[in-house]
Structure formats: structure tokens, C-alpha cells
Structure 1
Amino acid sequence: MKFLQKNKIILTVAALLVGVSLIAGCGGKKEEAKAADVQGTVTASGSTALLPLLKPAQEEFQKKYAKATVTISGGGSFTGLNQVAAGSVNIGNSDVPATNEYKDKGLVDHQVAVAPFVFIVNQDVSVDNLTQQQYVDILTGKTTNWKDVGGKDQKITLIHRAKSSGSRATIAEIVLKGAPFTDNAVIQDSNGAVRSAIASTPGSIGYVDSAYADNTIKSLAYNGEKYSADAVANGKYPVYAYEHMFTKGEATGAVKAFIDYVMSKEFQETYVEKNGFVPMTKMKK
């Protein structure tokens, strides 16, 4: 009797182990199948401010999903919105929310990070800080010489973005608050081009996504507050925009997988702040 009971216990344990093994095996196959299902090409265009974040996302995503290819281009936020609305790209990247003209286009918004913007000047400019009103006066063309804002006697050259730029729209809303930009400015087609032009133009000023601010130029404080991720999160530094990845309809397949990866804890905690952005989770509502 004891022998039969012992055998029964052994058989039961063996059956349980086989069951666990089968479940584990099925789970592994499910993960592989999921990875295998993510395939095809994802196309995205728009915000150049978002490029420093999406480039590492593209690289890491393609390592994770070998059958998927992601292509990303700039052109400005409104270019991204127009192209995704027309169906010519899968994702439209934008520094600004979709305006009323896109309401009937079926666009779905995915907020993926916060992009702070900084005002930058050529390294020969002696000013380190400007008030909001001083920025307004320069951007509208009222102030045209650095001596009028505490600098040396030197002409101010404004270098910034075209009307299709979300960066420009952000500055217009947050800093200018409806006042018009001066037409007396040099226009560039990307954040990188603005930085390069300012680095080589004495007396120049402009604005870029903070990820583009490096030692080739000088970053200015805003109302006495220097940019930092903590200053943005705590509400002390107000010049920023939520970054959007718009899709036409709900995202599916590789497009959904790419957006999910950008929004994942793994990517947000490892890459977002390191690349000059503020993670969504860090913002204090």
C-alpha cells in the first residue's frame, strides 16, 4: 500500500513538472512569435527637435526586432502632421498638438517625451541671461543691438526656424504669446542648422531643442533660470513642449511596436534624459 502511494506521489510530481515545462515552453514560443510578428517598414517624419531621441530608439528597436526597419526624417512638425494626415508616412512627429485643421483626419496622439528649448547665442556674445520681455523685444525686432540688453555694442542677428517648425510654434506660444516674429531674420530648416549658423555668426541668437545645445555655442538663462531637467519638471523653466508621435488611426503592427518601445519604461528610463529630454513620468502635473 505504501509502495502504491509512493508511486502515486512520484507520478503526480512528474506530471506537474511536465506541465510546468510545457507551459514554460509555450511561453518562450509566444515571445519568439511576438518578435517574429514585428516586421516591415515604419516611416516617420516631422520634428527635428525629436530626432536626437528617435535615432537611438530606431537603433535599439531594430536590434530588438530584426525583421523591422525604421526610417526617420525631419522637415518640421507641420510637415510631419501633413504627411501623416495624407498617409504618406506612418508617424508624424510634432512639437505641437494637432491644430483644428487636422480634426477630421483621424489622427491619434501619442505623447512620448518633453522637449525643453533653450536660447543660444554665438560664443562672442557677453550676455548670459535675458528676461522674457528682452527675448520678446529681440524676436520681434524691437531690440537690434546687444548693448540695449547689457551686452557690448554689437548688432543682433536672429537665426531661427521656418513657419513649418514646431520649435518656432512653441517659442511663439510660450515666449511671444501672440506677438509676431520680425521678418528680419535668417531662416534655417532644422535645429542642427540653426546651431551651426549661430556658431559661425558673431552676435547671433536663436533657439534649439536642448539636445542640440553643445560647446560650439552658448546657452542663455531664461528669467534668471538655466535649463535643467529638474527645472522643467518643477515648473521653474517654462520653455518646453510635449513631443507627439501622431498616427492616422490607431497604430498597429510594427508602427505600434515602435511607439510602444519609445514609451516603454526600458527606453524612457535609459535614453530619454540622457539625450536631452525629460521623461513623461518626471513631470509634475
Structure 2
Amino acid sequence: MKKSTWFKKTSLIVLMVSILSIMLSACGSSNGGVISISGSSALLPLADNAAKEYMAKNSGSKITVNAGGSGQGLTQVYQGAVNIGNSDVYAEEKLKPEEAKELNDHIVCVVGIAAVVNPNVKVDNITSQQLIDIFTGKITNWKDVGGEDKKIVLINRPSNSGTRATFKKYALNGAEEAEGTALKEDQSGTVKQTVSQTDGSISYLAFSYLDDKTKALKLNGVEPTSENVASGSYPVWAYEHMYTKGEPTGLAKSFIDYMLSDDVQTNIVPKLKFIPIKDMKVKR
């Protein structure tokens, strides 16, 4: 064989091996690829922030994060429409038992939920029974709970909302909400905007959405803070779940691992007013 022919064949083999190695590396890499996430709007700020941080550190990855409600996230991950379904509740609370069994639960943190009112409402504290009476329609005027003579306007989340399910269970003792201004989508940002613009209104938000546009109410004299959730003195909170269909692989696994890393748990989680699991003094 001529030297030039041998050189050409050798070069071609080396090139093919190099291309194959790159392809295999890309396929096997846990940091590269594309995944989509949907579900809990309460978890959205944390998931979105962490996704941006992750992508900045791993340029070959693309992570899309959307809200839509816990029910939607669980349904979509079960159906295979998304890689990760975020939820404020356990899958068994939204899906059929046989569907929930196919999902793997990854608890990433705790979220607190507070009753919030329009800043013009002259009430700062409310009892559990008063809160129940307001949301069930028994109390319809703020003057009956120490405020001004002003009509109470309920802002309802849709039924697929995990935040609604948590608030109903731990703040309303299981009572059904009376019909008020019903929002069509479970978007916490929309809840905050609606409450801030509606005189006399009340609803509920995850701590991550609390700011001066709404006023968070004390419950039985206890402020809705991360410290009070962690100690067990404030009762309205939930675990935040990231569900996958089966064991996660590739980028989905790598991102969930990142969510549970010290980098996220120590920095991003408390910064956005979520509570790291390790800080909780109580369990459910």
C-alpha cells in the first residue's frame, strides 16, 4: 500500500472515531440536552431561577420552566408531555392511584403560604375561624373582623391549583371556598396583581410572591415567615415536589441533583423565601 493511501485511510479512521466519540459524549452527558418542566406556580420562582443558574454553568443544556398548576404538571409528566412535573401536593392527591405509582417523587424544599389582602384593607391579623368564615362566605364585610365597613372580595384559584389544595387543607380545615372572582389559570403572579388592584380583596400566595403590593396576614397572631414555618408555629405550608415518570436520567437527573445541592439549598432556596428541608423542625 502506498504511503499516501495509508495516510488517507488512517486520517479517515481517526476522523470517524473522533466524530463518534463526540456523538457518544453528547448522548451520554448528564449536563447537555433539552428538558421541559411545568406545574406549580408556587415553585416557579425557584425552579426558573435554578434553571437559569444551571444553564449558565452548563452551556449545552436548555431547560424550559412553565407554571399552570400542580394538577397540570402532574398530568403532563405522567403523559410524557414534560420531563418534570412540579407540585405542591403529592401525586396521589391529583392523579389516579395507578397513574401516581408510575411517578417518582423528589422533594426539593418547603413552601409557606399566607392569606393576603389588598394593602388598603385595615386588618393585620386574623384567627383560623375568621379565615374559614371569610372563605366560606359567612363573613362578607371587613368590619366583622375589626376592619372598615368594606365588602370582602374573594379571589379564587382554579381547582387544579396545589396552592389552593394546601390552603384548603391547612388554613381552612378542609372547608370549600365560596365562589368569588375565579381566576382561569393558576398563576401566582396573576393572583398578586389581582389582589393588589382589587379593593377589599383577599386570596393566598406562596411566601416567594410576598411583597408590598399585597399585605400578608398574621394567622392567630403568628407572622407568616420561613422561621415560623420551620419551627412549626405557622401551619400553612407544603413540601415542594419535582416528579418524574420513572427514575430520572440525563439532564432531568442532573438538574434535580442540582436542586438538592448545597449551592441551591443554601443560597437560592432561602433567598427566594423557600425553606430548605434540613431547616425543618417538623414533618408531615
Please name the residue that 1:282 is paired with: 279
**Corresponding residue to 2:33 among 37, 40, 47:** 40
Q: CA RMSD in A?
A: 1.7
Deviations 1:11-61 (A, max 9, x none): xxxxxxxxxxxxxxxxxxxxx999954211111100000011111101111
Question: Deviation of residue 176 (structure 1)?
Answer: 1.8
1:247 matched to 2:244? The reply is yes
Please, which of 174, 179, 184 is the counterpart of residue 175 of structure 2? 179
Aligned to 2:171, the other structure's residue is in SS state helix
Number of the residue aligned with 1:210? 207
CA contact (8 A) 1:85 1:102 kept: no
Aligned to 1:207, what secondary structure does the other structure show?
strand
1:56 partnered with 2:49: yes
Unaligned runs of 5+ in 2: 1-24
* Letter matched to residue 159 of structure 1: I
Q: Is the 8 A contact 2:156 2:180 kept in 1?
A: no
**1:103 match:** 97
TM-score (norm 2): 0.86
Checking the alignment, whether the CA contact within 8 Å between 1:36 and 1:65 is kept in structure 2 is no
1:145 paired residue among 141, 147, 163: 141
Q: What is the distance in 2 between the residues matched to 1:150 and 1:186? A: 26
**Structure 1 residues 34 and 237 mapped into 2: Cα distance closer, same or farther (>3 Å)?**
farther
Amino acid in structure 2 at the alignment position of 1:64: K
TM-score scaled to structure 1, two decimals?
Answer: 0.86
- The structure with the larger Rg is 1
1:170 and 2:163 aligned: no
1:115 to 97, 111, 117: 111
SS at match of 1:62: helix
Give the stretch that moved more between structures: 53-62 or 172-181: 172-181
Could you list the runs of 4 or more consecutive aligned residues of structure 1 that deviate by over 4 angstroms after TM superposition?
32-37
- How many Å separate the matches in 1 of 2:274 and 2:184? 22
| Separation of aligned partners in 2, 1:255 and 1:237 | 33
State whether residues 30 and 253 of structure 2, in contact with CA within 8 Å, keep that contact through their aligned partners in structure 1.
no
Match of 2:60 in 1: 67
Following superposition, the deviation at residue 219 of structure 1 comes to 1.2
Q: Deviations over 1:165-212 (max 9, x none)?
A: 000000111122222110233325211101101101110010011111
What SS does the aligned partner of 1:148 have?
helix
- The counterpart of 2:255, out of the listed 252, 258, 261, is 258
Task: Return closer, same or farther for 1:254/1:276 CA change in 2, 3 Å cut-off.
Answer: same
Equivalent position SS for 1:216: coil
Instruction: Give the alignment partner of residue 192 of structure 2, picking from 188, 192, 195.
Output: 195
Aligned length: 254
Structure 1, unmatched stretches of 5+, are: 1-31
* Residue number in structure 1 paired with 2:22: none
Deviation at 1:87, TM superposition (A): 0.7
- Which moves more between the two structures, 177-186 or 144-153? 177-186
Change (3 A) 1:135 1:196: same
Q: Report the secondary structure of 1:99's partner residue.
A: helix
| Cα distance between partner residues in 1 of 2:192 and 2:65 | 20
Q: Is the 8 A contact 1:36 1:67 kept in 2?
A: no
Task: Please say if residues 39 and 71 of structure 2, whose CA atoms lie closer than 8 Å, have aligned partners that are also in contact.
Answer: yes
